[in-house]
Structure 1
């Protein structure tokens, strides 16, 4: 049982961070980390995961694509926000786009396909943590931009669940204090449930 206990401690120790530096996973290690995403629950074997890796000299060109998507989707965004986003996409050690290959009229509801992509992303974040790396999941209105999606091989109706910034944590990751589980769990005993988190 000791092994399971340490695995659980490991899962409880994961936290997002964007204080990331080189190195990043590569080669077989990167393939294994992304393969963890494919272990997510996948009702109907829809296989909706599409991962695009952006690294090295290509980051700056991709940051420009992101900036143009922001100009279209968030024209009123302050220039400081646009510059920050361009800077992050230019300088994060590695970026992984979380593509969603969606079948809208199939036998599996779209939300279940989206949940499979989200579960896959969480597996990838846990796999990064297991290998000594860190990451953070980022989204925004720019992720809806059709030209950006097309550049990532995601033609309509396929979409994007956001991006993972990936690298090695610059300093030990101090996870924000998580809420007490007692507020978010209940035991059903035949009566309607109320959660402490919803009280008041």
Structure 2
């Protein structure tokens, strides 16, 4: 019989992201953040390539990011509401971690599997923060795909941002949302 971990299973069955706009102070300290990142780095990684890395954005970095996003939004002539929403995601944040998909050359492991691993790392980081009692939210948006912004953040040409995980203390409990109907999305293959 397998060794069950009911507390972990209950956490996964009831986990809920916290909207980034509700995350405030305090934020995880260096030791807490290191633990969260260590847990995230335990993501399945076919080939042991570690095809992802982390960029920590503290308050100062987030304010600079907000300014860069505002500049790029204006240069791209984006809708003013879209510009403001993206800028505010960073201007109002206190701590975020960019998970960078950093695929490595490999004859055995396709790039797609390495990118999937980076996505799994985002979820692992999110869940580790929630399990540690922090509020967390996984965001992306147009700034995560803008080549000028990603270059400014130090990404190489072959790298992409898998997500920004915002961290902090939730100021309001979010309502749960409808969850998928497992029967509607599950089939059983019969040859």
The equivalent of 1:70 in structure 2 is 73
- 1:40 maps to 43
Secondary structure of 1:44 counterpart: coil
Gaps in structure 1 of 5+ consecutive residues: 191-200
Distance 1:168 1:179, change over 3 A: same
Q: Residue in 2 aligned with 1:184?
A: 185
Within the alignment, does 1:156 sit opposite 2:157 as a pair? yes
Match of 1:118 in 2: 119
Separation in 2, partners of 1:25, 1:2 = 31
Which of structure 1's runs of 4+ aligned residues deviate more than 6 A?
A: none
2: CA distance, partners of 1:127 / 1:15? 12
Give the Cα–Cα distance (whole angstroms) in 2 for the partners of residues 57 and 88 of structure 1.
14
CA RMSD across the alignment: 2.1
Number of positions where the alignment pairs a residue of Structure 1 with one of Structure 2:
188
Is 2:125–2:165's contact at 8 Å kept on the other side of the alignment? no
Q: Deviations over 1:119-167 (max 9, x none)?
A: 1111111101101112221122332222222222211111111211211
Paired with 2:156 and 2:8, the residues of 1 have a C-alpha distance of 39
Give the Cα separation in 2 of the matches to 1:109 and 1:62: 32
The equivalent of 1:101 in structure 2 is 102
Q: How high is the TM-score relative to the length of structure 1?
A: 0.84
**Aligned equivalent of 2:176:** 175
Tell me what 2:53 maps to.
50
The alignment status of 1:147 with 2:175, answered yes or no, reads no
Residue 64 of structure 1 and its aligned partner are, at CA, apart by 1.2
**Residues 97 and 162 in structure 1, CA contact (< 8 A), matched pair in contact too:** yes
Max Rg structure? 1
Distance 1:67 1:106 in 2: 41
Q: Report if aligned partners of 1:52, 1:96 keep a CA contact under 8 Å in 2.
A: yes
SS of residue matched to 1:142: helix
What is the match of residue 198 of structure 1?
Answer: none
**Equivalents in 2 of 1:50, 1:33: separation in Å?**
14
